[in-house]
């Protein structure tokens, strides 16, 4: 089921005479990854793959990829790479990328998955790096026992007139991105130009999506200052994703990300009661654990086979 514990309508109906729509919760891993794409990205569906192109931002990896409906056979990898070059590749992206997903049982432990050894060997032989994220879907929201020591607020999209209080809050939420970069002051201070430019571009996409009603940014305020942020984006077709959850390092371990995620998700369900909501986490890391405690359950491993752009290794 989906929704807030004791609240939501429940997936699949089955109730007293209400129309019943069966949910097909199959292979939503890549769909969750694509739910956050903005209007500058073109998504085209074919029988066995989905082509994702962002002509105005060729180095945006999530926006320039071929997503395969099924995992590729090892001997088909090169053919898919040629397909990438002939389609997305004509936009001039510095990387080459394929993605696919494999199902994960909802009770699977939080640990890194093992790739198919033949596929991994075939990928390595042609210079592709294989990585994995776990996509989790909310089963039933389990809010934390205690509220966090912070005020949790939705951020309005910035006003057309720059410089007002809403604009300032939007900016403050965006500044927190730098604390996702690593564990120490050097990581937060010395961010490469391409990374700073990517965050700026990404925040602008969110601003446009927020204005169009598809994106809600949330912040946590403590001692009068923003200390955590996250974004909920939905695709207008019943699928939403939480992303870019960041807590300022000084304020970690207090339940702030947990409280903010629970609150943002509960509000999303108030507006879109039949929504499916998912997110991606590094398998087995702290965020993976945090989301499981809130009622998210693993759904799929999304595999990425990447020939990276040397300038942007580590970013998306």
Ligand X SMILES: CC(C)(COP(=O)(O)OP(=O)(O)OC[C@H]1O[C@@H](n2cnc3c(N)ncnc32)[C@H](O)[C@@H]1OP(=O)(O)O)[C@@H](O)C(=O)NCCC(=O)NCCS
Phi, psi (5° rounding) for residue 193?
A: -55, -40
By CB under 6 A, name the one of 91, 180, 221, 266 that touches ligand X. 180
**Dihedral angle computed from the Cα positions of residues 252, 258, 259 and 262, in that order, rounded to the nearest 10 degrees:** 160
Nearest residue (CB) to ligand X, 191 versus 273:
191
**CB hemisphere CA count around 146 (13 angstroms):** 6
Nearest residue (CB) to ligand X, 255 versus 298:
255
- CB of residue 290 to ligand X, shortest distance in Å: 5
- The candidate with the shortest Cα–Cα distance to 170, out of 206, 138, 196, is 206
By CB under 6 A, name the one of 104, 137, 277, 281 that touches ligand X. 281
Cα 267 to Cα 19, 83, 258, distances in angstroms? 24, 41, 14
Binding mask of the shown chain, residues 222 to 241, with x at each position contacting ligand X by CB under 6 A: ------x-------------
Q: What DSSP character marks residue 93?
A: -
- The candidate with the shortest Cα–Cα distance to 68, out of 86, 37, 45, 35, is 45
Nearest residue (CB) to ligand X, 123 versus 217:
217
Residue 91, SS3 per DSSP: helix
Are 31 and 50 contacting, i.e. CB atoms less than 8 angstroms apart? no
Q: Which stretch binds ligand X (CB under 6 A): 50-58, 103-111, 163-171, 282-290?
A: 282-290
- CB of residue 241 to ligand X, shortest distance in Å: 11
Query: Nearest-CB residue to ligand X?
Result: 255
Contacts (Cβ under 8 Å, ≥6 apart) of 22: 12
Answer yes or no whether residue 287 interacts with ligand X by CB under 6 A.
yes
Answer yes or no whether residue 221 interacts with ligand X by CB under 6 A.
no
Answer yes or no whether residue 301 interacts with ligand X by CB under 6 A.
no
CA 103, distance to chain mean position in Å, is 17
Are 12 and 20 contacting, i.e. CB atoms less than 8 angstroms apart? yes
Q: End-to-end alpha-carbon separation of the chain, Å?
A: 31
Answer yes or no whether residue 290 interacts with ligand X by CB under 6 A.
yes
- CB of residue 292 to ligand X, shortest distance in Å: 9
Q: How far apart are CA 265 and CA 262, in angstroms?
A: 5
Residues in the chain: 316
- CB of residue 215 to ligand X, shortest distance in Å: 17
Q: How far apart are CA 304 and CA 27, in angstroms?
A: 15
Nearest residue (CB) to ligand X, 307 versus 316:
316
Nearest residue (CB) to ligand X, 22 versus 189:
189
Binding mask of the shown chain, residues 244 to 263, with x at each position contacting ligand X by CB under 6 A: -xxx----xxxxxxx-----
Nearest residue (CB) to ligand X, 94 versus 144:
144
- CB of residue 288 to ligand X, shortest distance in Å: 8
- CB of residue 258 to ligand X, shortest distance in Å: 3
Contacts with ligand X by CB under 6 A lie at 180, 228, 245-247, 252-258, 281, 286-287, 289-290
């Amino acid at each position: 089921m989906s929704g807030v514990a004791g609240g939501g309508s429940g997936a699949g109906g089955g109730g007293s005479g209400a129309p019943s729509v069966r949910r097909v919760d199959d292979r939503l891993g890549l769909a969750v990854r694509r739910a956050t794409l903005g209007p500058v990205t073109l998504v085209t569906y074919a029988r066995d793959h989905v082509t994702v192109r962002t002509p105005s931002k060729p180095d945006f990896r999530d926006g320039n990829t071929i997503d395969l409906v099924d995992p590729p056979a090892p001997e088909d990898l090169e053919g898919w790479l040629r397909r990438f070059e002939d389609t997305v590749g004509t936009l001039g992206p510095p990387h080459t990328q394929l993605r696919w997903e494999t199902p994960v049982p909802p009770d699977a432990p939080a640990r890194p998955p093992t790739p198919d050894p033949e596929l991994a060997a075939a990928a390595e032989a042609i210079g592709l790096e294989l990585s994995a994220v776990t996509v989790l879907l909310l089963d039933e929201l389990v809010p934390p026992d205690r509220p966090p020591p912070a005020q949790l607020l939705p951020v309005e999209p910035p006003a057309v007139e720059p410089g007002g209080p809403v604009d300032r809050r939007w900016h403050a939420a965006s500044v927190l991105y730098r604390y996702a970069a690593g564990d120490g002051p050097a990581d937060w201070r010395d961010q490469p130009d391409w990374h700073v430019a990517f965050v700026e571009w990404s925040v602008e996409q969110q601003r446009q999506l927020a204005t169009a009603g598809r994106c809600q940014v949330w912040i946590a305020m403590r001692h009068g200052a923003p200390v955590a942020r996250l974004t909920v984006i939905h695709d207008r077709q019943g699928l939403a994703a939480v992303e870019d959850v960041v807590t300022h390092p000084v304020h970690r371990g207090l339940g702030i990300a947990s409280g903010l995620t629970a609150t943002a998700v509960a509000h999303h369900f108030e507006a879109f009661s039949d929504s499916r909501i998912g997110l991606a986490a590094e398998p087995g890391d702290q965020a993976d654990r945090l989301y499981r405690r809130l009622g998210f359950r693993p759904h799929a491993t999304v595999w990425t086979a990447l020939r990276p752009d040397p300038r942007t290794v580590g970013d998306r």
